[in-house]
């Protein structure tokens, strides 16, 4: 039995948070025949495939970039945004979060963005900053970064900056929703929780936070995508004067 009805409604294909805030905040329940995120991070997938490598190649094709590090950055930021959004949204709206144990969370590496996530059973956890940090940063983003860096030459600081950007992006979306619905209490909770999450040795030097506005100190490299530019929280005001390499052959 689900111990928390609010979280049960949250973790569903058409829950209230998805309706209100969009797909980044949605969480499905079930156990489809897909690898868990723990398997993806560890490279221990029963069928012998590498979901992370597959996802990076898929993102590279979609972006039209020959640079693996660019695809790695965008792929990692997309998954970070999903995980932070699910946890932060639940914590702000309900005061509790679903247990996002990577052994229980299944992921479709071939899905579209935002990625589909399925949770095999909803267990309720407190929605305080320490618990949210363990559920997302410690349990997911650290092993995800380690797995990606073992495969590709990408800077650790870039991935941490992506994580901070993903967190503050989720907070801004929550703040906009709260303001539109006259819920200043929820907007304040989102700001406070985000500030506390960013005040961590791994994230506090990633950028400057003003409310939910964030200016990062690194770049996600999106400007190197053909036709790309700088993001709203980028350390650059305009794309650096360099051109992405042209694929050979």
Q: What is the pLDDT of residues 85-113, one digit of tens each?
A: 999 999 998 899 999 999 999 999 999 88
Residues 29-46: b if buried by 16+ CB within 10 A, e if exposed: beeeebbbbbbbbeeebe
Q: What is the pLDDT of residues 172-221, one digit of tens each?
A: 999 988 888 888 999 999 999 999 999 999 999 999 888 888 898 888 88
Report whether 247 contacts 66 (CB < 8 A).
Answer: yes
For residue 3, pLDDT over 60 is answered with no
DSSP characters for 188-239? HHHHHHHHHHHSSTTTTTSEEEETTEEEESS--SGGGSTT----TT-S-SS-
């Amino acid at each position: 039995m689900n111990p928390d009805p609010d979280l049960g409604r949250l973790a569903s294909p058409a829950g209230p948070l998805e309706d209100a805030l969009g797909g980044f905040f949605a969480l499905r329940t079930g156990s489809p025949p897909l690898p868990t995120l723990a398997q993806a991070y560890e490279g221990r997938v029963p069928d012998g495939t590498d979901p992370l490598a597959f996802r990076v190649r898929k993102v590279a094709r979609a972006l039209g970039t020959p640079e693996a590090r660019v695809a790695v950055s965008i792929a990692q930021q997309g998954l970070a945004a999903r995980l932070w959004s699910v946890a932060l949204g639940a914590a702000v709206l309900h005061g509790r979060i679903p247990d996002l144990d990577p052994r229980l969370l299944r992921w479709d590496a071939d899905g579209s963005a935002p990625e589909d996530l399925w949770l095999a059973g909803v267990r309720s956890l407190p929605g305080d900053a320490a618990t949210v940090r363990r559920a997302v940063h410690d349990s997911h983003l650290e092993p995800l970064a380690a797995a990606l860096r073992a495969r590709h030459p990408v800077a650790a600081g870039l991935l941490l900056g992506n994580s901070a950007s993903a967190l503050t992006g989720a907070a801004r979306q929550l703040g906009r929703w709260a303001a539109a619905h006259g819920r200043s209490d929820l907007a304040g909770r989102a700001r406070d929780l985000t500030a506390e999450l960013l005040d961590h040795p791994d994230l506090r030097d990633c950028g400057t936070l003003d409310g939910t506005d964030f200016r990062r100190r690194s770049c996600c490299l999106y400007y190197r995508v053909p036709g790309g530019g700088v993001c709203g929280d980028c350390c650059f005001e305009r794309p650096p004067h360099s051109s992405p390499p042209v694929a050979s052959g």
